[in-house]
Amino acid sequence: MGNEIRVTVWNEFRHEKINEKVADIYPEGIHGAIAKFLQAQPDINTRTATLDEPEHGLTDNVLNNTDVLIWWGHKAHKEVSDEIVEKIYKRVLDGMGIILLHSAHFSKIFKKLMGTSCDLKWREAGEKERLWVVNPGHLIAEGLGEYIEIPHTEMYGERFDIPQPDDLVFISWFEGGEVFRSGCCYNRGRGKVFYFRPGHETFPIYYQPEVQKVITNAVRWAKPAGGPAPKFGKAAPIENITVYEG
């Protein structure tokens, strides 16, 4: 109980309300689908939050009791308040893990954590994708085969304008001729950041077992590590040394 990883799954939750096709695929919202398979894990305790709730569902109380935040957004990045983004940012630097899915590459929080534009190339042709595991010693690759195949998806292609990942776990191949760094790990402050590409709203990708496995592994990888809180600012003086002033 006390050892459960407390996950908050955040979703913009707009496509599902206005697009019948998306609503058919994700009747409980993308957040609902993700929360469901995570909740089935004995070591994970899940709640959800969405854009249109007060404070986007991310009150101080929620954030302070979240070990790992999962983020899905697409068409309303600009509606996320700067104040909430700042709070998430501080929590990440303080140790909260964050997992950003698919179109969240353009979320305010991801761009702020990366320090780059996070821009990319895209195509909606429902083409085939293969995510090759290039770091089979990484926790996020636990239990996978040598690649994950997604039969139909939107393409994201390089150049993906991100800093070089601290660990690169997946590289995607696309039918149309592109590649993409699809599973990227970063350290920011005491927190861990994982960007994972799969998950377009018009395809049932979050029901695919291997995709669920990756997100579940990423939660375990991204949980706070419990290292020392940094002490910033004025340091202790040096004993027995006369200050030199030039």
Token digits of residue 204: 């049932």
Residue 23 within binding range of a second copy, rule CB under 8 A? no
Strands 179-188 and 191-196: antiparallel
Task: Tell the smallest beta-carbon distance from residue 38 to a second copy (Å).
Answer: 19
Q: Does 220 bind a second copy (CB under 8 A)?
A: no
Give me 26's structure tokens: 């994700």
Say whether residue 126 binds a second copy (CB under 8 A): yes
Q: Token digits for 211?
A: 């995709």
CA 11 to chain centre: 11
Of residues 79, 158, 207, 209, which one binds a second copy by CB under 8 A? Answer: 158
The residue count for binding a second copy (CB under 8 A) is: 83
Q: Is 201 a residue that touches a second copy (CB under 8 A)?
A: no
Which span (2-10, 11-19, 40-48, 238-246) binds a second copy, by CB under 8 A?
238-246
Position among 144, 183, 207, 212 found at the interface with a second copy (CB under 8 A):
144
Q: Is the CB of 35 or the CB of 192 nearer to a second copy?
A: 192
Please enumerate in sequence order all residues whose Cβ is within 8 A of that of 73, keeping only pairs 6 or more positions apart, or say none: 10, 11, 12, 51, 80, 103, 104, 106, 107
Sequence-distant (≥ 6) Cβ neighbours of residue 68 within 8 angstroms? 5, 6, 7, 8, 96, 97, 98, 99, 219, 222, 223
Binding residue (CB under 8 A) for a second copy from 34, 85, 171, 214: 171
In the list 18, 42, 54, 159, the residue contacting a second copy (rule: CB under 8 A) is 159
